[in-house]
A and B are shown apart, each in its own frame.
Chain A
Amino acid sequence: MHDPSQPSALRPLVEVDDLTKSFGARGGLSQILGAASQRQLIAVDAVSFQINAGEILGLVGESGSGKTTLGRCLLRLVEPSSGQVRFDGRDLISLSKGDLRVARRQMQMIFQDPYSALNPRMTIRQMLSEVLRFHRICTDAAIPARIAELLALVGLDQSAADRLPRHFSGGQRQRIGIARALAVEPRFIVADEPVSAVDVSVQAQIMNLLLDLRDQLGLTILLIAHDLSVVRYVSDRVGVLYLGRLVEIAPRAQIFAAPRHPYTQALLRAAPRPDPDRHPTQPAIAGEPPSPLNPPPGCHFHTRCPLATSRCKSEMPQLQTVSDGHQVRCHHHDLALLNPLPR
């Protein structure tokens, strides 16, 4: 299925079909031990979407939404339980270990915690040299020049190459992580909360870097974030996850102008804005997110949804297309449109 928002007949670069990941024992010893240990955690629940080449898809969700697990499944850093992930038409899940290693060059990850993402005992030069040598990106003689290019690409000074990670700030470490990902010359990058652990004044630097990489290198990026304003600034399209399910996906302008899922609306209402005239007195949404170990039947969101009916409690809504490129998983998405957002 091609993304209808893209008029061109190009195949999407990344296609995800019914991707599911569950944790927890099933059968065998746990059956003997009893029902309690058979509880499964379905972290990613039959998620499907596509990402076109050169586009940034922003995936938003709170804790328990499964967004980090989803990102890792795309790279097979976590093995999916079922479903398909196709990269440039080729299924990743069925690849052998050897083929996967080759395929890994095409897709890389940027991690959330800059203080844990770099090996504390390797200098930047050692780390990047290892990558370049392992994948035979260039000849040994060309390595220093390539390292210099990578550092310049992410906006770091050349003197950074021979220092250890502990000499760098959070923002700089994040850039080093990006340089490492770029060293293999990937076509696709999963950026897992790349600015969450970085100071506010530095976040814009990293966000601009990601936009530059899209514009100058034609990179395709999956941006995972919990901060809607970051997603708005960086993404071309946005998807919203709730308790492992994709509940809404649309081009950026549409999802912020006219969100059709009550959860998306609640997220937008709850996010704080630097606007002194805005003084909400009531919380955007009541209640706690349900435990992923014990998700509510039917629509997962019904326990907190102002529009919930008995149908929502028993029947899981399917993802429906409401307009060009805009899909929603809600029985009452028409009502949601009528529900004004107090901004």
Chain B
Amino acid sequence: MSLLDIRNLTTRISTSRGVMNVVEDVSFTVEPGECFGIVGESGSGKSMTCRSILGLLSKSGSATGAAWFEGQDLLTLKSGALEQIRGRQIAMIVQDAASALNPVVRIGTQIAEAMVQHGLVSSKAEARQRSLDLMSKVGIPAAEGRIDDYPHQFSGGMCQRVVIAAALSCSPKLIIADEPTTALDVTIQDQILRLLVALQAEFGMSLILVTHDMGVVAQTCQRVAVMYGGELVEMADTASLFRTPRHPYTMGLLNCVPHLDRDVGTARLRPIPGAPPDLMNPPAGCRFHPRCPLANDACKSTRPPLREVAAGHFSRCLRQDVLGEEIWTAESARA
């Protein structure tokens, strides 16, 4: 029984220019204790998906479909019921930790806030003790001396640890981390990711990790979904996705990212030509077809369904059976 079961999630945003579907018919599951990665570029809909699940859309947004969590469809819950779940069963970590914290409230208070809100602590002393425990768990040194500090006294990496501590405070079953390390230096990013994985194992939580960095998902997640233009285009376990990608976009991404461990000599990287689609006017048929070397007439007119092309491996490409490395050679080198 999956912990989170998202079915046909579609999110619409109305803007002054019209309505656009920022998330289009997305379905996936997250198992208990699993680290599930969602990878995509800007405009892929990965952040909007997370916000839709937790009902954190702005007034101009609306979500249809279903998000089953512990027998309830989150999308049908009223705000009172949703508030019971947020912070308690499902917690969220966002990209800019420093702005996620209230600058005029002490760190200890902010970490304990969710526990107090959900009635999990009975006294101020208990809240304080739990905050201290959490701070040590997330690796904040000398917690006793720092619990009364304010966010501006912490560095970016430390602020993110505080946010993680707050997220953990009610022992949620699921943490959604939306680009938690994008704004951090690479050595700090490394520390935070190892911390998240260790905590996940220790607390037995599931983790949805949203990022644009293929390297991060490769090293951290068990299963990965790739999003493009609001759609989920490929989903598989990590090893299969990276070794045998079954969507031209995934393959293109893997080919256009420079390698850290080897020189390419005089060979050039093969960029994906063009740019991500305008969601106000998405391309007909497959949203990737304007940039795809394999696109044929069917691709331009029919919206491909998400099909299981191998065990546990899903792809939204009509032509994935003819997919090979060579499609990205002569075509895209012209970019």
**Residues on A close to B: CB < 8 A?**
62-63, 155, 169-172, 199-205, 207-208, 211, 226-230, 232-234, 252-253, 256, 266-286, 288-289, 343
Known pairs A201-B253, A282-B194; A273 contacts B260 (CB<8 A): yes
Q: Is B335 an interface residue (CB 8 A)?
A: yes
> Known contacts A229-B257, A271-B260, A280-B194; is A172 also within 8 Å of B275 by CB?
yes
Residues of A within 8 A of B189 (CB): 270, 272
A272 to B194 CA separation, bound complex (whole angstroms): 11
The smallest beta-carbon distance between A74 and chain B, in angstroms, is 23
Asked if B190 and A284 make an inter-chain contact with CB atoms under 8 angstroms apart, the answer reads yes
Q: Are B335 and A275 in contact (CB under 8 A)?
A: no
Interface of chain B residues 164 through 223 with chain A (CB within 8 A): 185-191, 193-195, 197-198, 212-216, 218-219
Near A by CB (< 8 A), chain B positions 213-261 give: 213-216, 218-219, 238-239, 241-243, 252-254, 256-261
Instruction: Please indicate the chain B residues that have their CB under 8 angstroms from the CB of A252 in the complex.
Output: 263
**Contact in complex: A63, B185 (CB < 8 Å):** yes
Whether B108 is near chain A, meaning CB under 8 Å from some CB there, is no
Using known A-B contacts A272-B219, A274-B215, determine if residue A201 contacts B185 with beta carbons closer than 8 Å: no
Tell me the smallest distance from the CB of B240 to a CB of chain A, in Å.
9
From A201, A268, A343, contact of B271 by CB (8 A): A201
CA distance A205 to B261 in the complex (A): 21
Residues in B with CB closer than 8 Å to A205 are: 271, 273, 335
Asked whether, in the complex, the Cβ of A201 is within 8 Å of the Cβ of B187, the reply is no
Give the number of residue pairs across the A-B interface with Cβ within 8 Å: 154
Offer 5 A-B interface pairs, CB within 8 angstroms, sorted by A.
A270-B189, A272-B216, A273-B260, A274-B242, A283-B187
- Tell yes or no: B17 within 8 A of A by CB: no
Q: Is the CB of B242 within 8 A of A211?
A: no
B272 lies within 8 A of chain A by Cβ? yes
Q: Contact check: which of A228, A232, A279 meets B263 at CB < 8 Å?
A: A232
- Cα distance A230–B264 in the bound complex, in angstroms: 12
Question: Which residues of the partner chain A approach B253 to less than 8 Å between Cβ atoms?
Answer: 200-201
Report which of A233, A270, A279, A343 forms a contact with B258, defined as CB distance below 8 A. A233
Known: A201-B253, A252-B263, A272-B213. 17 other contacts (CB 8 A): A62-B185, A199-B42, A199-B276, A200-B213, A200-B214, A203-B256, A207-B258, A229-B258, A230-B258, A233-B258, A270-B189, A270-B190, A273-B261, A275-B242, A280-B219, A282-B194, A289-B155
- Least distance between B258 CB and chain A CB atoms (Å): 4
Whether A281 and B194, one on each chain, are in contact in the complex, defined by CB atoms closer than 8 angstroms, is yes
Note all chain B residues with C-beta closer than 8 A to A62: 185-188
Q: Are B263 and A285 in contact (CB under 8 A)?
A: no
| Docked-complex contact B242 and A285, CB < 8 angstroms | no
**A62-B183 Cα distance, complex, nearest whole Å:** 11
Q: Does B3 contact A (CB under 8 A)?
A: no
Which are the 8 A-B pairs with shortest beta-carbon distances? A272-B215, A204-B271, A233-B258, A270-B190, A62-B185, A204-B256, A274-B214, A283-B191
> What's the tally of chain B residues with a CB closer than 8 Å to chain A?
50
Q: Are A267 and B219 in contact (CB under 8 A)?
A: no
Q: Taking chain B's interface residues, is the majority helix, strand, or loop, or is none over half, making it mixed?
A: helix
A267 touches B187 (CB 8 A): yes
Complex: A171 Cα to B272 Cα, angstroms? 12
Binding site for A on B (CB under 8 A): 41-42, 155-158, 185-191, 193-195, 197-198, 212-216, 218-219, 238-239, 241-243, 252-254, 256-261, 263-264, 268-273, 275-276, 335
User: Do the beta carbons of B256 and A271 come within 8 Å of each other?
Assistant: no
> Are B186 and A201 touching (Cβ within 8 A)?
no
Enumerate chain A residues within 8 angstroms of B190, measured Cβ to Cβ.
269-272, 280, 283-285
Q: In the bound complex, do residue B215 and residue A284 qualify as a contact, i.e. CB atoms below 8 Å apart?
A: no
Of A63, A171, A207, A226, which contacts B275 at CB under 8 A?
Answer: A171
* Residues in A whose Cβ lies below 8 Å from that of B260: 228-229, 232, 256, 268, 271, 273
- How far is B198's CA from A63's CA once the two chains are assembled, in angstroms? 26
- Alpha-carbon separation in the docked complex, A335 to B45 (Å): 48
CA–CA, A46 and B191, complex, Å: 30
Contact B191 A276 (CB under 8 A): no
Q: Which residues of B lie under 8 Å from residue A283 when comparing CB positions?
A: 187, 190-191, 194-195
Query: Cβ of A275 and Cβ of B257 under 8 Å apart?
Result: no
Evaluate contact between B256 and A200: CB separation under 8 angstroms: yes
Which of chain A's residues has its CB closest to B222's CB? A276
Q: Are A202 and B157 in contact (CB under 8 A)?
A: no
Are B263 and A253 neighbours in the complex by a CB distance under 8 Å?
yes
A278 contact set on B, CB distance < 8 A: 218-219
A155 to B273: give the CA distance in the assembly, Å: 11
Closest to B258 in A: A233
Give the residues in chain A near B270, CB-CB below 8 Å: 204
Distance from B190 Cβ to chain A, minimum over Cβ atoms (Å): 4
Contact check: which of B156, B157, B193, B272 meets A201 at CB < 8 Å?
A: B272
